[in-house]
Amino acid sequence: MPEPGQEALVRLDLNNPVFQVHLLTLQKIERHAVLETLNKLRQMTWHQVYQDAGLRWERIVSVKPPAGADAIYSLRISQARRATAYREGDFIRLLTIALDHDSTYGRK
């Protein structure tokens, strides 16, 4: 629990089955890079996530969000890949790790 007046840290939700398959089937070096980013995320506030130039948190308008989510976002999860996610309270709900940049935005 954060101190009064202090912003809460981002909480990770890695339970989406598609995200799990994408994560667990990455090659070892890339999987390690993704895990480093996830570790970084869990130590950040949401304000820091929005401002971090390395993550590049961006709204995706070409993909319909899941029920209950206002929007889907992409973020750089490794040097070569982006993930899709949405925010729910303090949680970042991770959905996918894109195989290529265009698939993140619903284009092929």
Over the stretch 36-95, which tens digit does the pLDDT of each residue have?
999 999 999 999 999 999 999 999 999 889 888 999 999 999 999 999 999 999 999 999
Residue 56, burial from CB neighbour count under 10 angstroms (0-12, 13-18, 19+): exposed
- For residue 21, the model assigns a pLDDT of 97
The answer to whether 39 and 4 have CB atoms below 8 angstroms apart is no
Does residue 108 carry a pLDDT above 50?
no
Write down the pTM of the prediction.
0.86
* Residue at token pair 């729910």: 88
